[in-house]
Amino acid sequence: MDEAEDIGVRGAMVALGLATPFRRAFVVGALVGIVAFTAGLPKSAFTEEGELRPQRGLSNDPQATNYHFLVVPLTAAFITYLV
């Protein structure tokens, strides 16, 4: 058997520097955040012009929202950390 065939998924993650749950969660959160921002998800966190809405409680802007953009990548990172 070749050494490359023997390392498996765990060996590949170690070789990529993703050996710890925190590192995997960080990478997944960053990638999901980039994709979510590019796609404009969640829609309630963005204005019609595509800009981020301010967070209610930190801003008196009438367009402020309770649902922040970072909910999507942080949730993905948290799930990855637990798995």
Q: Looking at residue 63, what is its pLDDT? A: 87
pLDDT over 50 at 1, yes or no: no
Q: Residue 2: pLDDT above 60?
A: no
DSSP codes, the chain: --HHHHSHHHHHHHHTT--SHHHHHHHHHHHHHHHHHHHT-SGGGB-TTSPBPPBBTTB--TT-BSS-TTHHHHHHHHHHHH-
In a domain, 26, yes or no: yes
Domain membership of residue 9 (yes or no) is no
pLDDT value of residue 45: 87
Structure confidence by residue, pLDDT tens digits, 3-62: 555 678 888 888 888 889 999 999 999 999 999 988 888 888 888 888 888 888 888 988
The whole domain housing 74 covers 20-82
Residue 28 lies in a domain: yes
Domain assignment present for 12: no
Residue 30, in any domain of the structure: yes
Number of domains in the chain: 1
Give a yes or no: residue 77 inside a domain: yes
